[in-house]
Structure 1
Amino acid sequence: MNSLTLPDIANQAAHQALPLDWVGMCGIALPIVLEGQRLNAKADAGVSLEDDDARGIHMSRLYLALAGLEQRDLTPFVLRQVLEEFLASHEGLSNSAYLTIHSEMLLKRPALVSPLAGWKSYPVSISASLKNKMFHVELKIDVPYSSTCPCSAALARQLIQQQFITDFANKALQHAEILTWLGSSQGIVATPHSQRSTARLRMHLDEFIDELPLSVIINDAEAALGTAVQTAVKRADEQAFALANGQNLMFCEDAARRLNLALRRSPGVSGFHIRVIHAESLHAHDAVAESHWHRELA
């Protein structure tokens, strides 16, 4: 057996003495438990490199520390424990530790009217940092929804009015005839355009929060918008969805304002940045609005 000590190149002096802000690994495959669900995830793990004499960090130590996430529900406390282990394994080398976890949260959603239900996935990222003993957690969540253009709806209504004038000018109005006309393509000659849209939420959490309020934030956002995309549906659900869109006409500016006002009330949130994207069906470009808020210190 070879008795020679294996070389540790990372402990050799750096060729150029210079501290680094972040050194680590990205895209580490990892199972996590989130709100009781076992999910596939990818992790980005890193620390700062402060020691001018050190050439590199011990990446394997970061990798092994992630094993602590496999069996426990992901909470701020658990995240902090992992970051503290990152720093303990790099004592003298690092004073900052970082961890970001990317996954897709699954929530079962009921249909609007029928007894059907189905699963929806929401891309989420959970970022935690421990820097100079200051702990910070941030959530990023994508929430899909439908948006119907108010301008398009008004223009469609005008065309329907014009068609009504054309079809019923100088005629005695009969209830049954009008009812038939309203239910036909002859009468409803135009419909407003709508598009699948996305709210990208970046939420800053309170320092001492106990849980990650992912499903709470998603529920608050969907309630504020009123037009969450559906899963399994019957015709009655599709009709109810059309009604919801008709009663929640919105430009991207309207959506951003609704979300801003609603998410201020979400528990454990100290600030956020909102970016809403309406993937236009009329134009080849998207309509986008952004908004932010941060709780004022007392």
Structure 2
Amino acid sequence: MTNKNLPDVAKETHTEKFAPIDWVGMGSIELPIMLKQADGTYRIPARVDAKVSLDKKPSRGIHMSRLYLITQDVLTKNEMTLGLLGQATDEFLKTHEELSTQALVQVNFEAPLVRKALKSANQAWRSYPVVLSSFNENGTKKYYVEVVVTYSSTCPASAALSRQLIQDNFKQQFSQESVDFDVIHSWLGTTQGIVATPHAQRSFARVKAEVGPDFNYGALIDYVEEALQTAVQGAVKREDEQEFALRNGQNLMFCEDAARRVKELLDQKKEILDYVAEFSHVESLHPHNAVSHISKGLKLRSF
């Protein structure tokens, strides 16, 4: 037989006074979420953090199971949006009315997006790390989108050094004043013509933005890729690879340049209320990374 009067130690009274706690809850809850794409709605795995403050009334703990059940009921049965996360935080506070003034929910997942090739008719699926979150303080909500975009960065300094070597090699090979155009044109297409290439590397832009409840995370990914111009590619043919080489050559950038490019574009977008961004160039020349950090200059200064 089950005893219905089960003990709840979270409600136990003690003589000592309980100190308030900034955040209490659960991290990495396993949930399937529903993502709407152009060709349908998909269920994908996600990890959810659900938390409330413990600051309204002295208490030993919160109602963990209430948070868990809300995430199961609200977040798995509806299309994932920022507005949906706001609804979840309202429920968090409603079920902790006597304990909490603040609530937070954060959803981590890999978003599958179809990307077109640069030149050919090919397209390919790409996967982007995304974090959606909502912060609620006594009913006033804020919404955040965080994405990671992978791109290629070619070093401007290395490019300049490579050009110098190519110039010097040309001077050695063609010292006479008059040189036949066809000979030079043919020579430039050989490995002897291009004796050096600048170093390039896979790089990562991590961007977090404060937005409204109707904002779509895909737009932020598009903004970052538009600013950088060298997002990594999926399926490519030779014409796509050649275009990628051209884009890298025309968009040489240090990590500082990448930061300023993204800032310039995001500053023009009214729907981006605030942002912070970090850029990591995983150097092929060095065993360490080159990194930069930039923000809009308002409240978001770190992740």
Q: Tell me by how many angstroms 1:52 deviates.
A: 4.7
SS at match of 1:138: strand
CA displacement at 1:184 relative to structure 2: 0.4
Contact 2:165–2:195 (8 Å) recurs in 1? yes
How far has the Cα of 1:38 moved from its partner? 2.7
TM-score scaled to structure 2, two decimals? 0.92
Unaligned runs of at least 5 residues, structure 2: none
2:197 matches 1:191:
yes
The structure-2 alpha-carbon separation of the partners of 1:12 and 1:252, relative to structure 1 and needing over 3 Å to count, comes to same
Q: Do structure 1's residue 131 and structure 2's residue 137 form an aligned pair?
A: yes
Q: Could you give the per-residue CA deviations for residues 199-256 of structure 1, whole angstroms, max 9, x where no partner exists?
A: 1101112xxx342321111111111111010001111111110011001111111111
1:279 is aligned to 2:282: yes
* 1:264 pairs with one of 263, 267, 281: 267
In structure 1, how many angstroms separate the alpha carbons of the residues matched to 2:208 and 2:4?
A: 51
1:128-277 equivalences under 5 Å are 128-170=134-176, 172-205=178-211, 209-277=212-280
Q: Which runs of 5+ in 1 are unaligned?
A: none
Deviation at residue 116 of structure 1 after TM alignment: 1.4
Residues 24 and 62, structure 2, Cα contact 8 Å, conserved in 1: yes
| Structure 2 residue aligned with 1:83 | 89
Question: Percent of pairs identical after alignment?
Answer: 46
- Tell me how many residue pairs correspond in the alignment: 293
Match of 2:293 among 287, 290, 294: 290
Query: Judging changes above 3 Å, is the alpha-carbon distance between structure 1 residues 171 and 96 closer, same or farther for their aligned structure 2 residues?
Result: same
Q: Please say if residues 113 and 125 of structure 2, whose CA atoms lie closer than 8 Å, have aligned partners that are also in contact.
A: yes
Tell me the distance in 2 between the aligned counterparts of 1:39 and 1:45.
Answer: 19
RMSD over aligned Cα, in angstroms? 1.8
- Counterpart-to-counterpart distance in 2, 1:253 and 1:104: 27
CA displacement 1:136-193 (0-9 Å, x = unmatched):
1112111110011111111111101111111111264112211111000111100011
Aligned equivalent of 1:6: 6
Contact 1:224 1:259 in 2 (8 A): yes
C-alpha displacement of 1:51: 4.9
SS at 1:39's partner residue? strand
**CA–CA separation in structure 1 for the residues paired with 2:297 and 2:173:** 55
Q: Supply the distance in 2 between the matched residues of 1:29 and 1:70 (Cα, whole angstroms).
A: 11
- Secondary structure at 2:273 match in 1: strand
Contact 1:220–1:266 under 8 Å retained in 2: no
